[in-house]
Structure 1
Amino acid sequence: MNEAQLVARIREASRPMAPVPSGESPNLKPLPGVRAVVFDLYGTLFLSGAGAESGVTKESLQTSFAAVGLGPAPRGSDPAERYREVIHRHHAARRQEGVAYPEVDVREVWAEVLGEWGIAATREELEQLVVEVDCRCHPSWPAPGMPQLLATLRDLGWPLGILSNAQFHTPLLFPALTGRTVAEWGFQEELVSYSWTQREAKPSRRLFLQLADAFEDHHGILTHEVAFVGNDLRNDIAPALEVGFRAVLFAGDARSLRWRPDDASLTGVLPDRVVTDLGQLPALLLPISR
């Protein structure tokens, strides 16, 4: 499948999702001085049904293999378990190299798993397999108000960024489910960072520092003038605050909200603001301070 076909397949396989109320109370006091916004994707701009590994099952993988025409896994094997084992091994190897929060390219993971079974999949087959698995095991859908929010910020000329734990196909969610590409929504290329391209994942401070440098170097915007919007206290809020961003917790979906109360490293870490609907952000961020 080419990119257009992958986009069509994501659109065809996706179904509307509704957020599950979190019971959180929003904190909508205006944030003065903000001139730009960075978004997490999964669990923030897109509702997400499951984690990257947790939703993968043997049955869903066998169905995905069949959809791509790769045939079943060998009898007695558990492709879901092998998939997780290969990811963990890749992570361990990267940690040995000094990377605290490693990321994989999931196409390479599947190439290795299939290769062990004597299946030589093409790059196109691997990419289709990733999309088939993703749509079945951890579906996504735009959060309510997402298109309207992005249109508002884009039309005001705000620099917009993305920092997300993601894979090669993640940007395709935008054209598949909103009809516009990442660039068409106003995200600037130098302000977009996906974990798979860095081989490093959030909450790595390095990724946040890279983004902070890009804002200053390309737009003359300082860290305290950037609002980071995410759903996870450890992966989004804590590192954003540490590098000097303003931090807004998206608490609009109980499935993805991550306060992580058992993580002692987060003691005393609180977001600057909390929103329970993306539609609350414009009032929080406006008027523009230029």
Structure 2
Amino acid sequence: MVYEELIRRYSTPMKPVAASLPPKGSPVKPVRAVLFDVYGTLLISRAGDIGGAQSEAASRIDEIAELCRGYGLTIEAGLLLERFFRNIEAEKKRLSDQGVEFPEVLIEEIWMRVLDIKDRDLARLFALEFELTVNPVYPMPGLAKLLDGLRNRGLEMGIISNAQFYTPFLFSAHLGRDLEGLGFRKDLLFFSYNLGFGKPGGAAFETAALNLEKTGVRREETLFLGNDMLKDILPARAAGFQTVLFAGDSRSLNLREDDDRCGAVKPDMIITDLAQLLDCL
């Protein structure tokens, strides 16, 4: 698959940057299902999150200019960035005006507008290379061992993540298996680009809870692991899940200490290494 080849070509090993929070806590009840955030939790993200690339993009203007030249584009890189982020904001406003809470865009459609092209496949290729340039990612240490360990113990696994079309390919490119091959349940995979809205909206969490309940897994037996108090811990707790804050990388850890919505929210656990999750289950 061309997407996976591109991801591997751009891939450079990264290490998480230690944060100051120590691990603490343990599951409050037996766990039968684990749901995950992706960026900053399962994958190291240099920009911290899929949505945090604007400042990173500005710092990589030379690489973006080279990318444009590779696609035969004559637009100046700074103008390209300005149009790109302006189009994202305009589309989110359009969707918000239609009543969509926490709207998500389709990034290939944004690029089709910015580049003034109708070839969706070409727009997807450019979108992926742009993302790999401004927000490279790499598996968090212990990721493969964690997923294998949970699958071998018979735990249900799922993902609720702000994401784009290329996000699932990051797993197959780096780990050699697609999401279902890694043990994730298809009906527990929720990506914002498919849904049309993202976190911290709670709809995906609620649907995940209902899908788990159909197979006999109660909400309190489900654990959600994420790095963001607002986008992960708050909606997961509202859905009745146990919550684990991943504090393993200071670039992506988001405590939201100035956000009143998170003032009274506390995770059940804090971990600083994915291996700690296996150790406590």
TM over 0.5: yes
How many Å separate the matches in 2 of 1:211 and 1:231?
19
User: Corresponding residue for 2:271?
Assistant: 275
1:1-290 aligned at under 5 Å gives the runs: 4-50=1-47, 51=49, 52=51, 53-54=53-54, 55-57=56-58, 58-67=61-70, 69-73=71-75, 78-115=79-116, 120-217=117-214, 219-285=215-281
TM-score, structure 1 as length reference? 0.91
CA 1:27–1:88 in structure 2 vs 1: closer, same or farther (change >3 Å)?
Answer: same
TM-score, structure 2 as length reference? 0.94
How many Å separate the matches in 2 of 1:60 and 1:262?
34
The alignment partner of 1:177 has SS state of helix
The gaps in structure 2 that reach 5 residues or longer are none
CA 1:31–1:185 in structure 2 vs 1: closer, same or farther (change >3 Å)?
Answer: farther
How many Å separate the matches in 1 of 2:78 and 2:46?
26
Report how many aligned residue pairs link the two structures.
275
Q: CA deviation at 1:76?
A: 9.0
The alignment partner of 1:187 has SS state of coil
Q: CA deviation at 1:64?
A: 2.3
Asked if the contact 1:238–1:266 (Cα under 8 Å) also holds between the matched residues in 2, the reply is: yes
How many Å separate the matches in 2 of 1:124 and 1:76?
21
How many Å separate the matches in 1 of 2:235 and 2:77?
43
CA 1:169–1:76 in structure 2 vs 1: closer, same or farther (change >3 Å)?
Answer: closer
Asked if the contact 2:68–2:77 (Cα under 8 Å) also holds between the matched residues in 1, the reply is: no
Give CA-to-partner distance per residue, 1:78-128, whole Å, 9 cap, x none: 11011110000011011111122000010000001111xxxx252221111
Q: CA deviation at 1:72?
A: 2.4
RMSD: 1.4
Asked if the contact 2:64–2:77 (Cα under 8 Å) also holds between the matched residues in 1, the reply is: no
Q: CA deviation at 1:281?
A: 0.3
Asked if the contact 1:60–1:133 (Cα under 8 Å) also holds between the matched residues in 2, the reply is: no
Asked if the contact 1:28–1:280 (Cα under 8 Å) also holds between the matched residues in 2, the reply is: no
How many Å separate the matches in 2 of 1:121 and 1:99?
26
Give CA-to-partner distance per residue, 1:191-221, whole Å, 9 cap, x none: 000000011010001121111111112x221
How many Å separate the matches in 1 of 2:121 and 2:208?
31
Asked if the contact 1:62–1:72 (Cα under 8 Å) also holds between the matched residues in 2, the reply is: no
Quote the sequence identity (%). Answer: 36
